[in-house]
Amino acid sequence: MDESAQRAETTDLLALLASCRPFDSLTPEGRARAVTSADVQNFAAGDLVVDAFAEVPADIFVVVSGEVDLWLDPDRIGEPPGDSFGRGEALGFSAALTERAIGPRVVARSAAKIARFPADVVIPAFASRGGARFLAEHISHARRLASGPPTYTVMADLVRQAPLIVAADAPAIDIARDMTSRGLPCAAVDIGDGRYGLVTDEGLRRRILAEGLPVDSPAHAVMTYPATTTSLGTSSADALIEMLDHEAQFLLVTSEDGALTGVVGERDFMSSSTTAGVSIKEQIRKARTVDDLVVRALRVPTVLGDLLERGLAADRVIAVNSTIVDAIIRRAVTLVFEDHTDLTMEAFTWLSLGSNGRREAVLSSDVDAAVTFDDECVGEIPHYRQAFAVVGEVLTRCGISVDAHRAFPSHEGFSRTHSQWRAAARGWLARPRENQGTIMASILVDARPIFGDPSLPEPARVFADFNSHPAAVEMLLYESLARRAKLTTMRDKLAGRGDAFDVKARGLAPIINIARWVALGVGSAELQTIGRLRAASGSALLPGRDADRLIEAFEVLQLLRLEHQLRQAEAGQVPDDILDRDEISPIDRSVVERTVREVSAIQRRMDRVAHMLPADQLARPRPAMPPPPSELQGHGGERAGDPRRRSGDPMRAARAAKDLAKNRGIRKVVRRGRRLDP
């Protein structure tokens, strides 16, 4: 090729990369580097371009001219192609980036010119935000082509017949007769004003046969109220989680105008490609012995892997796992207390804490829990703690580790009466530096009742007044910023673990801590990390752009963590949070590095802003005009955010310098770390 033709080809390739996804995310220098390393080849119609089912390609291909045919399923290569691509389309990147022979097979449909780019040169394009969106769209498109259009994805697809609706005063015997004649397992009770109760076969047996109510008792006397409802447009995955959360057998499905259109039960979810396999929860609920419960609980990792493989998003899979863990805990408590007939389960409420309290439990998560008792039970609590210790042993047999730091109801600090919790929480807020107040506050604000009284637990009621305690606001902020996002530590390097990345401690925990603090600051009752970040988005400490980046980082790291642990479980290993960066794919490695850098940058910015504003203003909505850059960034030998540069007022500057010195002292205390020993 002569020099002028080569220049023309280079110019064309540069223009092509600048105009097609995801290469348009590259810097001009990055595109120039990619073009320099490219190998452009010509193919005749029918020529094989690449077969990524046969071997893992080291290159990523881009169509320069002509058309190519793709096969995305190795079992359908003898059939017509699944798709055809033309100029500007990228090929083979899934296999190259994951280093797995997952296809596609590409054959030239017409005379075509294809450019081959070394994968390591163009990886930055796929690691960018635009690249992440491109990959997500590609995966969705590929799944549709490989398996056809998705079915049973919303509740409207699962509703099979009209519901039986009865009046609140309808006799139970008539309801049972109608249910039998229509072959229905339940009936909806119309209470009025769009509210419904639910009569089920199980409920009729319990209320009439076991409790002895007359057979002509009105519907409102034998129903479960209120019934759990959802709408026709709700995704089957979200509806399933709602049903599991409420321990409901059935969901009432309503239209947009509130009219009841159907009833869906657990069996109906078996038809959905994204929720099949959830019968494990029903099996757990019906376990008759501890041994039976253990056998069924140990099947959970397989169910989660199946859900992820079927296309359910990672955050939904994790939420399903949390509801299954809830079911295991409830059943374990029930089975243990069947052997303690002198104790009643009505005396206490079980609170899930930590990751399970936030509905973010994965296979490596400890069970953090607490119990709150009625005040009149204070003298009996030691006997209950012995039973709770047995519950912990059962959970351990089920493959669920009990918190090693003693955050469990068998210990004194995590089983108290309502009054004791209220007094303790107020003390933590008023004196956060004493009695491990900051740590206990961080633990208890994640509390979610899963057994007993479903209302807001006592500690959460106290923490609703969080913003009126500046010392607690300040301490919890610096506790949140003390654990920095980083790829590795000097200790890891000295120990020869420089390639090991603790995805929980070094990536997820900083995001979780930030989300917890900002949610308290804006008075949000949200528990899930993503919900907390959304609730606080736009505050002085968490601009909307930073909230979006933290949400994206959290989702990416949770997916990598879940996939890593499912692989370990399949191999018979104990799931952990340690990713070996040498063993994950180049694209995953690049995503981890970029994500950690972004979280660390946001933490540094939060630390600077924290020096600029009083603690009680950090969670307020952002002002209309941002502060001048000089207030947020230091230069020369001055520290960023140094209060001496905030104002020409000497008295104000002196007070600010004093506050900053105090804050630095707090950080030193926080960063020393504390042993949790309530």
Q: For the ranges 105-119, 231-245, 269-283, 385-399, which has the lowest average pLDDT?
A: 269-283
pLDDT at 301 over 70: yes
Mean pLDDT of 408-421: 91
For the stretch 438-464, pLDDT in tens is 778 778 888 889 888 877 777 667 676
DSSP β-ladder status, 186-192 and 165-167: parallel
Task: Output the CA–CA distances (angstroms, integers) from residue 136 to 94, 133, 139, 288, in the order listed.
Answer: 11, 5, 5, 43
* Separation of alpha carbons 37 and 50, rounded Å: 19
In eight-state DSSP terms, residue 185 is S
In eight-state DSSP terms, residue 540 is S
pLDDT at 275 over 80: no
Type of residue found at 122: V
Mean pLDDT of 312-327: 85
Tokens 């007993």 -> residue: 452
Mean pLDDT of the chain, nearest integer: 79
Which residue has better confidence, 641 or 524? 524
* Separation of alpha carbons 652 and 646, rounded Å: 9
For the stretch 476-513, pLDDT in tens is 777 777 788 887 655 555 455 557 889 998 999 999 99
Q: For the ranges 460-474, 541-555, 623-637, which has the lowest average pLDDT?
A: 623-637
For the stretch 172-187, pLDDT in tens is 999 988 888 888 888 9
pLDDT at 391 over 70: yes
Domains of the chain plus CATH, in order, are: 3-147 (2.60.120.10), 152-275 (3.10.580.10), 465-621 (1.20.120)
C-beta atoms surrounding 618 within 10 Å? 22
pLDDT band per the 50, 70, 90 thresholds, residue 136: low
For the stretch 599-619, pLDDT in tens is 998 888 888 777 766 655 555
Predicted local distance difference test score (pLDDT) of residue 381: 92
* Separation of alpha carbons 32 and 16, rounded Å: 12
Mean pLDDT of 548-561: 90
Beta bridge partners of 665: none
Mean pLDDT of 642-653: 37
| Whether pTM exceeds 0.75 | no
Structural contact between residues 448 and 486, judged by C-beta atoms closer than 8 angstroms: no
* Separation of alpha carbons 27 and 414, rounded Å: 54
Structural contact between residues 190 and 311, judged by C-beta atoms closer than 8 angstroms: no
For the stretch 140-150, pLDDT in tens is 455 444 444 44
Type of residue found at 179: M
Which residue has better confidence, 635 or 124? 124
In eight-state DSSP terms, residue 162 is P
Predicted local distance difference test score (pLDDT) of residue 278: 58
For the stretch 239-264, pLDDT in tens is 777 777 777 878 888 887 778 888 88
CA 255 to chain centre: 28
In eight-state DSSP terms, residue 106 is E
pLDDT at 325 over 60: yes
For the chain, how far is it from start to end, CA to CA, in angstroms?
77
Which residue has better confidence, 9 or 470? 9
Predicted local distance difference test score (pLDDT) of residue 404: 57
For the stretch 45-58, pLDDT in tens is 999 998 888 888 88
DSSP β-ladder status, 368-373 and 415-417: parallel
